[in-house]
Amino acid sequence: MAAAGTDTFSGAAPLTEADLIFSPQANHNFSRILGDLKKSNLSITNRLRSIKEDAQFVSEAAKALGRPLIANERCGSWYISLDDKAGSAYFKSTDGHMGQWSFSTRRLNLHLLSVIGGNDGCIIVDSTRRGKRMPDALSKTIPTWCCVINNALFPETEGHRLFTPPHVVSESEHAQMQARIPGFVGALASLRVDAAALRKQLKKPLRPFWLTQESQLTARPGRRDERGGYIQGAGDDTENWALGLTPVVFWQNEKLLLSTPEADLPELVQSLVAAHAAASAGSAPKQLTDNLYVGTLEAGFPNPTATACTITVVPRTTEPSGWVKSPTCMEVGLGKQNKLASRNLRTALAQIYDFAAQYLISSSPSSTTPTSAADILIRCETGKDVSVGIALALLCRLFDDEGKYDPSGAAEKASDINKSVIKVKLGRVMTRFPEATPSRATLQSVNSFLMG
Protein backbone atom coordinates (compact mmCIF):
# COMPACT_ATOMS: atom_id res chain seq x y z
CA MET A 1 0.00 0.00 0.00
CA ALA A 2 1.32 3.46 -0.82
CA ALA A 3 1.77 5.46 2.37
CA ALA A 4 0.54 9.04 2.72
CA GLY A 5 4.12 10.29 3.25
CA THR A 6 4.98 13.96 3.35
CA ASP A 7 2.70 14.95 0.48
CA THR A 8 -0.22 15.12 2.86
CA PHE A 9 1.58 17.71 4.94
CA SER A 10 3.08 19.76 2.10
CA GLY A 11 -0.10 21.24 0.79
CA ALA A 12 -0.86 18.46 -1.75
CA ALA A 13 -4.40 17.13 -2.04
CA PRO A 14 -5.14 14.42 0.56
CA LEU A 15 -5.13 10.84 -0.64
CA THR A 16 -8.46 9.09 -1.33
CA GLU A 17 -9.58 5.46 -1.35
CA ALA A 18 -8.74 5.28 -5.04
CA ASP A 19 -5.09 5.97 -4.21
CA LEU A 20 -4.78 2.80 -2.12
CA ILE A 21 -2.79 0.17 -3.97
CA PHE A 22 -2.81 -3.52 -3.07
CA SER A 23 -0.51 -6.00 -4.73
CA PRO A 24 -2.13 -8.92 -6.61
CA GLN A 25 -0.75 -11.26 -3.97
CA ALA A 26 -2.35 -9.18 -1.19
CA ASN A 27 -5.70 -9.27 -3.01
CA HIS A 28 -5.42 -13.03 -3.38
CA ASN A 29 -4.60 -13.57 0.28
CA PHE A 30 -7.38 -11.24 1.43
CA SER A 31 -9.97 -13.10 -0.67
CA ARG A 32 -8.69 -16.44 0.55
CA ILE A 33 -8.90 -15.34 4.19
CA LEU A 34 -12.49 -14.14 3.74
CA GLY A 35 -13.39 -17.38 2.00
CA ASP A 36 -11.85 -19.46 4.76
CA LEU A 37 -13.71 -17.49 7.41
CA LYS A 38 -17.04 -17.96 5.62
CA LYS A 39 -16.37 -21.65 5.07
CA SER A 40 -15.48 -22.11 8.73
CA ASN A 41 -18.66 -20.35 9.87
CA LEU A 42 -20.81 -22.48 7.55
CA SER A 43 -19.17 -25.74 8.60
CA ILE A 44 -21.23 -28.86 9.20
CA THR A 45 -20.46 -28.59 12.91
CA ASN A 46 -21.84 -25.05 13.13
CA ARG A 47 -24.90 -26.01 11.13
CA LEU A 48 -25.71 -28.97 13.35
CA ARG A 49 -25.17 -26.95 16.51
CA SER A 50 -27.41 -24.19 15.16
CA ILE A 51 -30.09 -26.74 14.29
CA LYS A 52 -29.88 -28.14 17.81
CA GLU A 53 -30.25 -24.66 19.30
CA ASP A 54 -33.31 -23.87 17.17
CA ALA A 55 -34.79 -27.27 18.03
CA GLN A 56 -34.62 -26.38 21.70
CA PHE A 57 -36.75 -23.29 21.02
CA VAL A 58 -39.25 -25.44 19.09
CA SER A 59 -39.43 -27.90 21.98
CA GLU A 60 -40.06 -25.07 24.43
CA ALA A 61 -42.86 -23.71 22.24
CA ALA A 62 -44.52 -27.14 22.12
CA LYS A 63 -44.37 -27.47 25.91
CA ALA A 64 -45.67 -23.94 26.48
CA LEU A 65 -48.60 -24.28 24.09
CA GLY A 66 -49.35 -27.97 24.50
CA ARG A 67 -49.75 -28.59 20.77
CA PRO A 68 -48.25 -31.31 18.51
CA LEU A 69 -45.30 -30.45 16.27
CA ILE A 70 -45.68 -30.74 12.49
CA ALA A 71 -42.64 -30.36 10.24
CA ASN A 72 -43.06 -28.33 7.08
CA GLU A 73 -40.90 -30.31 4.69
CA ARG A 74 -38.23 -30.21 3.44
CA CYS A 75 -36.33 -28.58 6.26
CA GLY A 76 -38.82 -28.52 9.15
CA SER A 77 -37.89 -32.03 10.27
CA TRP A 78 -34.38 -30.88 11.17
CA TYR A 79 -35.79 -28.92 14.10
CA ILE A 80 -37.99 -31.60 15.68
CA SER A 81 -36.66 -34.63 17.52
CA LEU A 82 -38.04 -37.97 16.41
CA ASP A 83 -39.97 -38.46 19.64
CA ASP A 84 -41.67 -35.07 19.33
CA LYS A 85 -42.59 -35.15 15.64
CA ALA A 86 -46.33 -35.71 15.13
CA GLY A 87 -46.35 -35.48 11.34
CA SER A 88 -45.36 -33.55 8.23
CA ALA A 89 -46.90 -30.84 6.07
CA TYR A 90 -46.00 -29.62 2.60
CA PHE A 91 -46.57 -25.89 2.21
CA LYS A 92 -44.29 -24.33 -0.41
CA SER A 93 -42.80 -20.88 0.02
CA THR A 94 -43.12 -20.33 -3.73
CA ASP A 95 -46.91 -20.37 -3.31
CA GLY A 96 -46.47 -17.30 -1.10
CA HIS A 97 -44.03 -15.32 -3.23
CA MET A 98 -45.02 -11.79 -4.19
CA GLY A 99 -47.40 -11.85 -7.14
CA GLN A 100 -47.43 -15.68 -7.24
CA TRP A 101 -49.80 -16.38 -4.35
CA SER A 102 -51.44 -19.73 -4.86
CA PHE A 103 -53.42 -22.54 -3.25
CA SER A 104 -51.88 -25.83 -4.29
CA THR A 105 -54.36 -28.47 -5.44
CA ARG A 106 -51.41 -30.84 -5.63
CA ARG A 107 -50.46 -30.48 -1.97
CA LEU A 108 -53.77 -30.25 -0.16
CA ASN A 109 -52.47 -31.04 3.34
CA LEU A 110 -55.96 -32.22 4.31
CA HIS A 111 -54.42 -34.82 6.60
CA LEU A 112 -53.67 -31.98 9.02
CA LEU A 113 -57.35 -31.37 9.74
CA SER A 114 -57.71 -34.41 11.99
CA VAL A 115 -54.55 -33.41 13.87
CA ILE A 116 -55.79 -29.85 14.33
CA GLY A 117 -59.28 -30.92 15.33
CA GLY A 118 -58.05 -33.51 17.80
CA ASN A 119 -55.58 -31.19 19.52
CA ASP A 120 -57.23 -27.78 19.16
CA GLY A 121 -54.42 -26.79 16.83
CA CYS A 122 -50.86 -27.71 15.94
CA ILE A 123 -47.47 -26.05 15.56
CA ILE A 124 -46.02 -26.10 12.03
CA VAL A 125 -42.23 -25.72 12.07
CA ASP A 126 -40.17 -24.17 9.28
CA SER A 127 -37.09 -21.97 8.90
CA THR A 128 -35.64 -19.34 6.61
CA ARG A 129 -32.30 -17.81 5.83
CA ARG A 130 -30.74 -14.96 7.74
CA GLY A 131 -32.25 -11.59 6.92
CA LYS A 132 -35.88 -12.75 6.81
CA ARG A 133 -38.15 -12.84 9.80
CA MET A 134 -40.05 -15.92 8.62
CA PRO A 135 -40.43 -17.97 5.42
CA ASP A 136 -43.19 -17.15 2.96
CA ALA A 137 -44.65 -20.59 3.62
CA LEU A 138 -45.52 -19.52 7.17
CA SER A 139 -46.43 -15.89 6.55
CA LYS A 140 -48.50 -16.33 3.37
CA THR A 141 -48.95 -19.90 2.07
CA ILE A 142 -50.41 -21.30 5.30
CA PRO A 143 -52.67 -18.28 5.98
CA THR A 144 -54.06 -18.66 2.45
CA TRP A 145 -54.65 -22.37 3.08
CA CYS A 146 -56.48 -21.64 6.34
CA CYS A 147 -58.72 -19.07 4.67
CA VAL A 148 -59.57 -21.39 1.76
CA ILE A 149 -60.36 -24.29 4.10
CA ASN A 150 -62.60 -22.06 6.23
CA ASN A 151 -64.57 -20.84 3.22
CA ALA A 152 -64.92 -24.36 1.84
CA LEU A 153 -65.88 -26.15 5.06
CA PHE A 154 -67.82 -23.40 6.86
CA PRO A 155 -69.67 -21.64 4.00
CA GLU A 156 -72.57 -20.61 6.25
CA THR A 157 -70.24 -18.39 8.27
CA GLU A 158 -69.86 -15.04 6.58
CA GLY A 159 -66.68 -13.06 6.21
CA HIS A 160 -63.92 -15.61 6.61
CA ARG A 161 -60.95 -13.27 6.77
CA LEU A 162 -57.42 -13.82 5.58
CA PHE A 163 -55.03 -13.40 8.51
CA THR A 164 -51.40 -12.52 7.78
CA PRO A 165 -48.64 -11.20 10.09
CA PRO A 166 -48.79 -7.38 9.69
CA HIS A 167 -45.09 -6.95 10.46
CA VAL A 168 -44.25 -9.17 7.46
CA VAL A 169 -47.07 -8.74 4.91
CA SER A 170 -47.99 -5.23 3.81
CA GLU A 171 -51.60 -4.05 3.54
CA SER A 172 -51.29 -3.91 -0.24
CA GLU A 173 -50.01 -7.46 -0.53
CA HIS A 174 -52.62 -8.68 1.93
CA ALA A 175 -55.41 -7.12 -0.17
CA GLN A 176 -54.09 -8.73 -3.36
CA MET A 177 -53.94 -12.12 -1.65
CA GLN A 178 -57.47 -11.71 -0.29
CA ALA A 179 -58.77 -10.99 -3.80
CA ARG A 180 -57.60 -14.40 -4.99
CA ILE A 181 -59.33 -16.42 -2.27
CA PRO A 182 -62.65 -16.99 -4.15
CA GLY A 183 -60.75 -18.49 -7.06
CA PHE A 184 -58.80 -20.78 -4.74
CA VAL A 185 -62.02 -21.93 -3.07
CA GLY A 186 -63.40 -22.78 -6.50
CA ALA A 187 -60.25 -24.74 -7.34
CA LEU A 188 -60.67 -26.82 -4.19
CA ALA A 189 -64.36 -27.42 -4.93
CA SER A 190 -63.46 -28.68 -8.43
CA LEU A 191 -61.57 -31.57 -6.82
CA ARG A 192 -64.86 -32.88 -5.40
CA VAL A 193 -63.46 -33.44 -1.93
CA ASP A 194 -65.89 -34.65 0.72
CA ALA A 195 -66.36 -31.33 2.53
CA ALA A 196 -68.87 -32.76 5.00
CA ALA A 197 -66.48 -35.49 6.13
CA LEU A 198 -63.61 -33.02 6.43
CA ARG A 199 -65.67 -30.58 8.47
CA LYS A 200 -66.41 -33.30 11.03
CA GLN A 201 -62.68 -33.34 11.80
CA LEU A 202 -62.73 -29.70 12.93
CA LYS A 203 -64.55 -28.09 15.84
CA LYS A 204 -64.22 -24.53 14.52
CA PRO A 205 -62.66 -22.50 11.69
CA LEU A 206 -58.88 -22.21 11.45
CA ARG A 207 -56.91 -19.20 12.69
CA PRO A 208 -53.13 -18.88 12.19
CA PHE A 209 -50.78 -17.36 14.78
CA TRP A 210 -47.02 -16.89 14.48
CA LEU A 211 -44.13 -17.60 16.82
CA THR A 212 -40.51 -16.65 16.23
CA GLN A 213 -37.36 -16.52 18.33
CA GLU A 214 -38.54 -13.09 19.48
CA SER A 215 -41.76 -14.47 20.96
CA GLN A 216 -41.84 -14.42 24.78
CA LEU A 217 -43.30 -17.82 25.62
CA THR A 218 -41.31 -18.56 28.73
CA ALA A 219 -38.82 -16.87 31.00
CA ARG A 220 -36.19 -17.59 28.35
CA PRO A 221 -35.05 -14.47 26.43
CA GLY A 222 -36.76 -14.20 23.11
CA ARG A 223 -33.68 -13.44 21.03
CA ARG A 224 -30.72 -15.74 21.24
CA ASP A 225 -27.09 -14.77 21.32
CA GLU A 226 -25.94 -15.23 17.71
CA ARG A 227 -22.26 -15.41 18.53
CA GLY A 228 -20.25 -18.60 18.20
CA GLY A 229 -21.04 -19.36 14.54
CA TYR A 230 -24.84 -19.55 14.80
CA ILE A 231 -26.44 -20.00 11.35
CA GLN A 232 -30.06 -18.97 10.82
CA GLY A 233 -31.93 -21.48 8.68
CA ALA A 234 -29.08 -23.97 8.96
CA GLY A 235 -31.31 -26.83 7.80
CA ASP A 236 -31.86 -25.25 4.36
CA ASP A 237 -30.05 -26.26 1.16
CA THR A 238 -28.95 -29.65 2.50
CA GLU A 239 -27.72 -30.72 -0.93
CA ASN A 240 -24.90 -28.19 -0.51
CA TRP A 241 -23.60 -29.29 2.91
CA ALA A 242 -25.27 -32.35 4.48
CA LEU A 243 -23.31 -35.06 2.59
CA GLY A 244 -26.46 -37.20 2.51
CA LEU A 245 -27.30 -36.66 6.17
CA THR A 246 -31.05 -36.56 6.84
CA PRO A 247 -33.06 -35.33 9.85
CA VAL A 248 -33.80 -38.92 10.87
CA VAL A 249 -30.13 -39.91 10.82
CA PHE A 250 -29.18 -36.69 12.62
CA TRP A 251 -31.62 -37.18 15.49
CA GLN A 252 -30.78 -40.86 15.81
CA ASN A 253 -27.10 -39.96 16.22
CA GLU A 254 -27.32 -36.41 17.56
CA LYS A 255 -24.81 -36.68 20.43
CA LEU A 256 -22.24 -38.55 18.35
CA LEU A 257 -22.42 -36.07 15.48
CA LEU A 258 -22.20 -33.00 17.72
CA SER A 259 -19.17 -34.37 19.56
CA THR A 260 -17.20 -35.42 16.47
CA PRO A 261 -14.44 -33.10 15.14
CA GLU A 262 -15.23 -31.38 11.85
CA ALA A 263 -12.45 -33.22 10.02
CA ASP A 264 -13.94 -36.59 10.93
CA LEU A 265 -17.57 -35.72 10.12
CA PRO A 266 -17.62 -36.61 6.38
CA GLU A 267 -16.50 -40.18 7.03
CA LEU A 268 -18.88 -40.54 9.99
CA VAL A 269 -21.84 -39.16 8.06
CA GLN A 270 -21.15 -41.50 5.16
CA SER A 271 -21.12 -44.54 7.44
CA LEU A 272 -24.27 -43.47 9.32
CA VAL A 273 -26.19 -42.80 6.11
CA ALA A 274 -25.16 -46.17 4.67
CA ALA A 275 -26.17 -47.98 7.87
CA HIS A 276 -29.56 -46.26 7.89
CA ALA A 277 -30.18 -47.15 4.23
CA ALA A 278 -29.37 -50.79 4.93
CA ALA A 279 -31.68 -50.84 7.95
CA SER A 280 -34.50 -49.25 5.91
CA ALA A 281 -34.30 -51.80 3.10
CA GLY A 282 -37.53 -53.65 2.50
CA SER A 283 -39.67 -50.88 3.97
CA ALA A 284 -43.44 -51.21 3.64
CA PRO A 285 -45.02 -49.55 0.58
CA LYS A 286 -47.80 -46.97 0.70
CA GLN A 287 -51.27 -48.22 -0.23
CA LEU A 288 -53.22 -45.91 -2.56
CA THR A 289 -56.20 -48.19 -3.30
CA ASP A 290 -57.22 -51.74 -2.45
CA ASN A 291 -54.88 -53.04 -5.14
CA LEU A 292 -52.37 -50.27 -5.89
CA TYR A 293 -49.19 -49.49 -3.91
CA VAL A 294 -46.10 -47.29 -4.32
CA GLY A 295 -42.71 -47.52 -2.63
CA THR A 296 -38.95 -47.24 -2.89
CA LEU A 297 -36.73 -49.66 -4.81
CA GLU A 298 -36.30 -51.73 -1.65
CA ALA A 299 -40.01 -51.84 -0.79
CA GLY A 300 -41.86 -55.12 -0.77
CA PHE A 301 -45.29 -56.45 0.10
CA PRO A 302 -45.69 -57.32 3.78
CA ASN A 303 -47.22 -60.67 2.76
CA PRO A 304 -46.21 -61.24 -0.87
CA THR A 305 -48.08 -63.71 -3.01
CA ALA A 306 -46.99 -65.53 -6.13
CA THR A 307 -49.38 -63.45 -8.24
CA ALA A 308 -48.46 -60.01 -6.88
CA CYS A 309 -47.10 -57.67 -9.55
CA THR A 310 -44.17 -55.23 -9.38
CA ILE A 311 -43.35 -52.37 -11.73
CA THR A 312 -39.89 -51.04 -10.86
CA VAL A 313 -38.34 -47.87 -12.33
CA VAL A 314 -34.58 -48.41 -12.05
CA PRO A 315 -31.97 -45.59 -12.08
CA ARG A 316 -30.31 -46.65 -15.31
CA THR A 317 -31.31 -46.58 -18.96
CA THR A 318 -32.39 -49.88 -20.50
CA GLU A 319 -33.99 -50.97 -23.77
CA PRO A 320 -37.82 -51.07 -23.69
CA SER A 321 -37.75 -54.48 -25.37
CA GLY A 322 -36.31 -55.95 -22.19
CA TRP A 323 -38.55 -54.24 -19.63
CA VAL A 324 -41.04 -57.07 -19.16
CA LYS A 325 -39.33 -59.80 -17.15
CA SER A 326 -42.42 -61.95 -16.54
CA PRO A 327 -46.22 -61.55 -16.47
CA THR A 328 -45.89 -60.16 -12.93
CA CYS A 329 -42.58 -58.29 -13.14
CA MET A 330 -41.61 -55.21 -15.14
CA GLU A 331 -38.32 -53.31 -14.80
CA VAL A 332 -38.33 -49.93 -16.54
CA GLY A 333 -34.97 -48.22 -17.09
CA LEU A 334 -35.54 -44.46 -17.38
CA GLY A 335 -32.16 -43.36 -16.00
CA LYS A 336 -31.21 -41.61 -12.77
CA GLN A 337 -34.31 -40.05 -11.26
CA ASN A 338 -34.33 -36.39 -12.30
CA LYS A 339 -36.08 -34.20 -14.85
CA LEU A 340 -34.76 -36.33 -17.72
CA ALA A 341 -36.13 -39.54 -16.21
CA SER A 342 -39.47 -37.83 -15.60
CA ARG A 343 -39.58 -36.71 -19.23
CA ASN A 344 -38.63 -40.21 -20.43
CA LEU A 345 -41.68 -41.43 -18.55
CA ARG A 346 -43.83 -39.80 -21.25
CA THR A 347 -42.94 -42.40 -23.86
CA ALA A 348 -42.74 -45.28 -21.36
CA LEU A 349 -46.24 -44.93 -19.93
CA ALA A 350 -47.98 -46.58 -22.85
CA GLN A 351 -46.00 -49.80 -22.39
CA ILE A 352 -46.38 -49.64 -18.59
CA TYR A 353 -50.13 -49.19 -18.95
CA ASP A 354 -50.45 -52.17 -21.33
CA PHE A 355 -48.49 -54.36 -18.92
CA ALA A 356 -50.60 -53.36 -15.90
CA ALA A 357 -53.88 -53.71 -17.80
CA GLN A 358 -52.95 -57.17 -19.03
CA TYR A 359 -51.95 -58.24 -15.53
CA LEU A 360 -55.26 -57.10 -14.01
CA ILE A 361 -57.28 -58.75 -16.76
CA SER A 362 -55.45 -62.05 -16.38
CA SER A 363 -55.87 -61.89 -12.59
CA SER A 364 -59.64 -61.52 -12.88
CA PRO A 365 -60.70 -63.08 -16.19
CA SER A 366 -64.37 -63.47 -15.24
CA SER A 367 -64.94 -60.39 -13.11
CA THR A 368 -64.34 -56.67 -13.11
CA THR A 369 -63.07 -56.94 -9.55
CA PRO A 370 -59.47 -58.15 -9.20
CA THR A 371 -58.79 -60.87 -6.69
CA SER A 372 -57.34 -59.94 -3.31
CA ALA A 373 -53.98 -61.15 -4.54
CA ALA A 374 -54.01 -58.94 -7.66
CA ASP A 375 -51.83 -56.24 -6.16
CA ILE A 376 -49.57 -53.90 -8.10
CA LEU A 377 -46.53 -52.35 -6.42
CA ILE A 378 -44.87 -49.48 -8.32
CA ARG A 379 -41.35 -48.65 -7.16
CA CYS A 380 -38.87 -45.86 -7.87
CA GLU A 381 -35.80 -44.37 -6.15
CA THR A 382 -37.75 -42.15 -3.77
CA GLY A 383 -41.10 -43.91 -3.80
CA LYS A 384 -42.68 -40.45 -4.07
CA ASP A 385 -42.14 -39.14 -7.59
CA VAL A 386 -42.11 -41.28 -10.73
CA SER A 387 -43.90 -44.18 -9.03
CA VAL A 388 -46.68 -41.80 -7.99
CA GLY A 389 -46.94 -40.50 -11.55
CA ILE A 390 -47.35 -44.03 -12.89
CA ALA A 391 -49.94 -44.81 -10.23
CA LEU A 392 -51.86 -41.66 -11.19
CA ALA A 393 -51.91 -42.68 -14.85
CA LEU A 394 -53.21 -46.15 -13.97
CA LEU A 395 -55.83 -44.71 -11.62
CA CYS A 396 -57.16 -42.48 -14.40
CA ARG A 397 -57.33 -45.27 -16.99
CA LEU A 398 -58.06 -48.44 -15.00
CA PHE A 399 -59.85 -47.39 -11.80
CA ASP A 400 -63.07 -45.51 -11.07
CA ASP A 401 -63.66 -42.56 -8.76
CA GLU A 402 -63.74 -44.83 -5.73
CA GLY A 403 -60.44 -46.46 -6.61
CA LYS A 404 -62.09 -49.68 -7.79
CA TYR A 405 -60.76 -51.60 -10.78
CA ASP A 406 -62.73 -50.70 -13.91
CA PRO A 407 -61.32 -52.44 -17.00
CA SER A 408 -64.25 -51.45 -19.18
CA GLY A 409 -63.53 -47.78 -18.75
CA ALA A 410 -67.23 -47.17 -18.18
CA ALA A 411 -66.62 -44.58 -15.47
CA GLU A 412 -64.23 -42.49 -17.51
CA LYS A 413 -63.29 -43.48 -21.03
CA ALA A 414 -59.85 -42.54 -22.21
CA SER A 415 -61.29 -39.83 -24.47
CA ASP A 416 -63.07 -38.24 -21.50
CA ILE A 417 -59.95 -37.72 -19.41
CA ASN A 418 -59.05 -34.06 -19.06
CA LYS A 419 -57.07 -31.91 -16.64
CA SER A 420 -59.99 -31.74 -14.22
CA VAL A 421 -60.25 -35.52 -14.02
CA ILE A 422 -56.50 -35.81 -13.49
CA LYS A 423 -56.56 -33.14 -10.77
CA VAL A 424 -59.33 -34.95 -8.91
CA LYS A 425 -57.44 -38.24 -8.99
CA LEU A 426 -54.19 -36.54 -7.99
CA GLY A 427 -55.96 -34.81 -5.11
CA ARG A 428 -57.11 -38.17 -3.81
CA VAL A 429 -53.62 -39.63 -4.14
CA MET A 430 -52.17 -36.73 -2.19
CA THR A 431 -54.85 -37.06 0.49
CA ARG A 432 -54.01 -40.75 0.88
CA PHE A 433 -50.25 -40.19 0.58
CA PRO A 434 -49.42 -36.58 1.59
CA GLU A 435 -45.68 -37.32 1.57
CA ALA A 436 -45.79 -37.88 -2.21
CA THR A 437 -43.80 -35.37 -4.23
CA PRO A 438 -44.46 -35.91 -7.95
CA SER A 439 -42.38 -33.37 -9.86
CA ARG A 440 -43.77 -31.02 -12.45
CA ALA A 441 -41.93 -32.95 -15.19
CA THR A 442 -43.50 -36.22 -13.99
CA LEU A 443 -47.00 -34.75 -13.99
CA GLN A 444 -46.46 -33.22 -17.42
CA SER A 445 -45.55 -36.68 -18.73
CA VAL A 446 -48.69 -38.15 -17.17
CA ASN A 447 -50.85 -35.40 -18.70
CA SER A 448 -49.27 -35.96 -22.11
CA PHE A 449 -49.94 -39.71 -21.95
CA LEU A 450 -53.51 -39.39 -20.73
CA MET A 451 -54.60 -36.55 -23.00
CA GLY A 452 -52.22 -36.86 -25.94
**How many structural domains does the chain have?**
3
Question: What pLDDT shows up at residue 40?
Answer: 47
Is 19 within a domain?
A: no
Is 367 within a domain?
A: yes
Q: CATH code at 293?
A: 3.90.190.10
Please check whether residues 296 and 445 belong to one and the same domain.
yes
Please check whether residues 394 and 264 belong to one and the same domain.
no
Res 312 pLDDT > 80: yes
Is 34 within a domain?
A: no
Q: What is the pLDDT of residues 394-439, one digit of tens each?
A: 999 998 888 888 766 544 556 678 888 899 999 999 989 998 989 9
Round the average pLDDT of the chain to a whole number and report it. Answer: 85
Please check whether residues 315 and 295 belong to one and the same domain.
yes
% of the chain residues with pLDDT over 90: 59
Res 49 pLDDT > 50: yes
Please check whether residues 324 and 437 belong to one and the same domain.
yes
Nearest 10 degrees: Cα torsion 57, 58, 62, 65 = 60
Which strands, in side-by-side order, build the sheet including 69-72? 85-89, 69-72, 123-125
Mean pLDDT of 436-450: 93
Please check whether residues 272 and 194 belong to one and the same domain.
no
Please check whether residues 67 and 145 belong to one and the same domain.
yes
Question: What pLDDT shows up at residue 408?
Answer: 67
Q: What is the pLDDT of residues 153-166, one digit of tens each?
A: 998 877 689 999 99
Q: Which of 199, 215, 230 corresponds to the end of one domain?
A: 199
* More confident of the two residues 63 and 4: 63
Please check whether residues 160 and 257 belong to one and the same domain.
no
Res 131 pLDDT > 80: no
Is 271 within a domain?
A: yes
Please check whether residues 165 and 143 belong to one and the same domain.
yes
Is the whole-model pTM more than 0.85? no
Is 303 within a domain?
A: yes
**Domain boundaries, position 110:** 44-199
Is 1 within a domain?
A: no
Q: Which of 199, 234, 256 corresponds to the end of one domain?
A: 199
| Alpha-carbon distances of 351 from 124, 295, 393, 412, 451, rounded to whole Å | 42, 20, 12, 20, 16
